[in-house]
Amino acid sequence: TFNRDLVTKGAEITAYETRASNIPWNFSPTMDVGRDARWSRIWESFGEDTYVNAEMGTAVVRGYQGENHNVVGANNVAACLKHYIGHGVPVSGKDRTPAIIAENDLREKFFEPFRAAIIDGNALSVMVNSGMINGVSTHADYRLLTQWLKEDLDFDGLVVTDWADVQNLLSRDHIVHNYRDAVREAINAGIDMVMEPYNLELMPTLIELVESGEVSQERVDDAVRRVLRMKFRLGLFDKPYWSRHDYPNFGSAEHEAAAKAAADESITLLKNDNNILPLKQGVKILVAGPNANSMRTLNGGWSYSWQGEKTEEFAEQYNTIYEALSNKFGADNVVLEEGVTYNMAGQYFEENQSQIERAVAAAAGVDYIVLALGENSYCETPGNLEELSLSDNQIALALALQQTGKPVILVLNEGRPRLIRKIEPNSKAIVHLYLPGNYGGDALADILAGDVNPSGKLPYTYPKFEQSLITYDHKPSQNLDTKMEGAYDYGAETSVQYSFGYGLSYTTFEYSNLHINKKEFAAGEDIMITVDIQNTGKVAGKESVLLFSSDLVASITPDVRRLRAFDKVELSPGQSKTVTFTINANDLAFVNAEGKWTLEEGEFMIQLGDQTALTKCRETKIWNTPNK
C-alpha cells in the first residue's frame, strides 16, 4: 500500500483483538528484508527495500504498543521484531538455512530496520534468526545479540529464541558437543528467554551452569530483569488476565472495513492492455484456476491455523473470488470451472488431476476469463520450493484458455512472485492480489468493476527468470545496457518482469517542477524536496510518490538507486498537489568497506517519477560510531 496510516490502523486492530484473546505479546512484525523471491516468507515481510521495512515495521510497532511503551494500554500488546537478523536471504532460498551477507550490507540494509523500530518505535522485544550468518549461528552470536543490539542501541527489551533453536545449536548446527554447551553459548550470547518446546532439562542445566560459573549470575539477573520489565510494562502484575467481554469491538464492522481498505490499496494492477479493465456490468465471466474459489488461498499461512489449512472451516461467511464476482456482476453472468485444483489434504504444492478441457469448454459462453492462479497456503519451512515458476498444470491451463481467443484477466494470488513469463504476453490484464485476507475477493471485484481504482505498488522486483533474481538497488555492473568493449564482448543485463514500485492505475499522473532547496549540503543538514503531481485522467486515484536517490560516484560501488522517502496522495481528475519531502543528509550515507557509515563529497541524483535533479555533498564525513 505504501500507506503508513493503513499499516498503523491494522496494527491497532490486531493488538486489540490479540489482547481480547488474552494474549499480551505478538510475535510480529516480521522485519526480515525479503530480497530473495524463492524464500517462503516473502509475504510476511514488507518486501525487498530497507527503508520500507524500517518505516512500515515502525508503524506496526506503534500500532501494537500505543503511545507509551513503558505503560502499554489495555488495548495494546508488546511487539516482537523478528527474525534478527538476515533471515530473509538464505543462500539456498530455503527457510532456516545459512545466509552469506557482506558486513557493510549487514549493517546498512539488514540491521537498519531493526534499529529504526527500536529507536523510533521503542519495540519491547526481538526474536532471533533461526539460521546463521557467515557461518555463525545467530543464537550464539554475542556480537549481534549483545554488542550491536543491546549495547549499541541501549536496548532494554528482551531477546527471545525462535522455536527450539538452542537445541538446534547442537543437533543441527553442530557448534557444541552437548546440550549443556548449547545453553551456555546461547545465554552468554545474549538470549533472555528460550522458546524450548521439547527439552525439560533447560532450567536445571542453566542452574548448573550458573553454579559452575560458566554463566554468570549477572547475566541471568539481566535476562530476568528484561522479562520482568516487559511484564511490568504490560501491566500483567496488576491484571494478569481479562475477559473477552471487555473487548466489544472484536470482529466489528469497523475492523472489517479497515481490512477491506487495506486490501483495496494493496492490490496491484500490473498490466491493462487497451484499458480492458474495468469491466462493464452485464458481461459474462468465467472464473477459473485453483485460487478461484478458496478462502484458504486468499489468507495464506498463519491464518486460523499454522499452515492455513483450517481457513475454509472458519471463514465461510466471507467471499471467495468467484463468490465476490458473482455478487458484483450477477450470479447468472458468472461461471465457475477451475480446471486445476489443489489437493487440500496434501502439501501446499500438490494439485489434483487437472480438468483443463472443462474450463476450455466453459469459456465458449463468456465474454471474459478471470484466471486465478498462484499458490496454496503455507508458511515457514513447509513452504520451501524447488521451482519458482507456476506449476505446469497452471501454465497449461493459462495457455489453453488464452488459445480460446477470449480475453484472459490473470489474477495472481500468491505469497511470493511466481514466474509468469510464458503466460504474460497473452494475458490482457494482470492483477496481483498477494495474500489479501478475508476481504480480498470483494476488493478484487470492486477493482475489476471500477468501483475502486487500484493503487498498490510492488514491494519487490518481480523476476522473469529464476537465474536472474535481482533487487532494484543492485550494483551498476549487474544491469549493463551495453556490451563491454574489447575482447570481452558481453554484458550483464538482467531481465525482470516488473520493477520494484511498479503499479498501474485507471487514471494517469504527471510529475513536474521537481525542486531541491539546496544545491549543496553537508552531513546533518535537512534537504527539502518538492514535486508537483497532477491527476491527468478522468477518474480519482491514489498515487504512491516514491523518492529515490543515486550516489553517482563512491569509494565502493554505489547501488544504482535507493528509496529515501515515500508518501501516498489522492487526487481528483485534473487536481494538482505539491508533495514535500524533508530528508536528512545523513540518510544518504552508506557503510564503507571498513564497516563505517560514510557520507562522501560528490553529486547525488534525486528522482521522483520521471523527474530528476542533482544536488551535491560538499564535504566527506565518516562516523566513528556504529550507527549514525
pLDDT tens digits for 239-269? 999 999 999 999 999 999 999 999 999 999 9
Q: Where are the beta strands (DSSP E) in 149-273?
A: 158-160, 268-272
Contact 173, 132 (CB under 8 A): yes
- The residues assigned a catalytic role are 162
In a domain, 500, yes or no: no
Sign of the C-alpha dihedral computed for residues 450, 452, 457 and 459 taken in this order: negative
Mean pLDDT of 152-170: 97
Establish if 380 belongs to a structural domain: yes
**DSSP per-residue string spanning 261-274:** HHHHHH-EEEEEGG
d(CA 155, CA 576): 44
- The whole-number pLDDT of residue 482 equals 55
Which CA distances in Å does 267 have to 3, 433, 440? Answer: 13, 5, 9
Burial 465-495, CB ≥16 within 10 A → b, else e? eeeebbbbbeeeeebeeeeeeeeeeeeeebe
Please enumerate, as own/partner, the contacts of 343-347 that have beta carbons within 8 Å and a separation of 24 or more.
344/296, 344/309, 344/312, 344/376, 347/382
Give Cα 48 to chain centroid, integer Å.
7
Q: SS3 of 208, please?
A: helix
Instruction: Give percent of the chain with pLDDT exceeding 70.
Output: 98
Whether residue 167 contacts residue 199, with contact meaning beta carbons closer than 8 Å, is answered with: yes
pTM: 0.96
Residues 448 and 419 in one domain: yes
Out of 402, 432, 463, a domain closes at: 463
Give the C-alpha separation, 623 to 125, whole Å.
Answer: 28
Q: Where are the beta strands (DSSP E) in 315-438?
A: 334-336, 368-374, 408-413, 429-432
Q: Round the average pLDDT of the chain to a whole number and report it.
A: 96
Same-domain check for residues 28 and 50? yes
Alpha helices in 427-530 (DSSP H): 440-449
Element (H, E) at 230: helix 217-233
**238, 262: one domain:** no
- Domain end, chosen from 440, 463, 486, is at 463
* Backbone torsion region of residue 386, taken as left when φ is above 0, otherwise alpha when ψ lies between -120 and 50, otherwise beta: alpha
DSSP 419: B
- Of 244, 276, 291, the residue at which a domain comes to its end is 244
CA gap 261, 584 in Å, rounded: 32
Please report which confidence band the pLDDT of residue 484 belongs to, taking 50, 70 and 90 as the band edges: very low
Tell me, what's the pLDDT at 179? Answer: 97
- Contact of 5 with 62, CB cutoff 8 Å: no
Please say whether the beta carbons of 461 and 479 come within 8 A.
no
Whether residues 262 and 240 fall in one domain: no
Q: What is the pLDDT of residue 84?
A: 98
Nearest to 227 by CA among 194, 198, 205: 194
* pLDDT at residue 423 greater than cutoff 50: yes
End-to-end CA distance of the chain: 29
pLDDT in tens, 8-18: 999 999 999 99
Percent of the chain surpassing pLDDT 90: 97
Quick one: 455 and 558 in the same domain? no
Q: Amino acid identity of 615?
A: T
DSSP state, residue 305? B
189 lies in some domain: no
36 and 151 share a domain? yes
Q: Supply 405's cell numbers.
A: 481467443
Instruction: Please report the pLDDT score of residue 172 as a whole number.
Output: 96
- The DSSP 8-state label assigned to residue 110 in this structure reads I
| CATH number of the domain where residue 310 is located | 3.40.50.1700
Same domain? 226 vs 327: no
**In Å, how far are 421, 472, 485, 492, 627 from 479, measured between CA atoms?**
19, 10, 15, 5, 31
Three-state DSSP at 374 gives strand
Which comes out higher in pLDDT, residue 594 or 492?
594
pLDDT tens digits for 311-326?
999 999 999 999 999 9
- Identify whether 382 is preceded by a cis peptide bond (ω within 30 of 0): no
Give the integer Cα–Cα distance in Å for 126 and 148.
13
CATH, residue 540: 2.60.40.10
Give the integer Cα–Cα distance in Å for 431 and 427. Answer: 10
* 74 inside domain: yes
DSSP 42: G
Phi/psi for 457 (5° steps) reads -130, 145
In a domain, 338, yes or no: yes
Return the bridge partners of 132, or none.
137
CA–CA distance, 434 with 270 (Å, rounded to integer): 12
Confidence at residue 481, expressed as pLDDT on a 0 to 100 scale: 57
Cell of 296: 484458504
Mean pLDDT of 62-69: 97
597-599, strands of its sheet edge to edge: 590-591, 597-599, 621-622
454 in any annotated domain: yes
Query: How many CB atoms are located within 10 Å of the residue 253 CB?
Result: 8
Question: Parallel, antiparallel, or unpaired for β 576-584 and 541-551?
Answer: unpaired
Look up the domain containing 76 and give its range: 4-163+220-244
519 and 399 within one domain = no
Residue 370 φ/ψ, nearest 5 degrees: -100, 110
How many whole angstroms from its chain centre is CA 83? Answer: 13
Write the CATH number for 134.
3.20.20.300
**Can you tell me which residue has the cell 520521471?**
610
Beta bridge partners of 160: 127, 193
Please say if the pLDDT value at position 490 is more than 80.
no
One domain, residues 238 and 276:
no
Q: Which three cell numbers stand for residue 3?
A: 500507506
Other C-beta atoms lying within 10 Å of the C-beta of residue 292: 28
pLDDT of residue 483: 53
> 29 preceded by cis ω (within 30°)?
yes
Same domain, 286 and 421: yes
Note whether 264 and 142 are same-domain residues.
Answer: no
User: Does residue 225 sit within a domain?
Assistant: yes
User: Per-residue confidence at 477, pLDDT binned at 50, 70, 90?
Assistant: confident
| CA–CA dist 285, 445 (Å, integer) | 12
Residue range 261-317, pLDDT digits in tens: 999 999 999 999 999 999 999 999 999 999 999 999 999 999 999 999 999 999 999
**Domain count across the chain:** 3
Residue 192 lies in a domain: no
Which one has a higher pLDDT value, 495 or 547? 547
Same domain, 523 and 550: yes
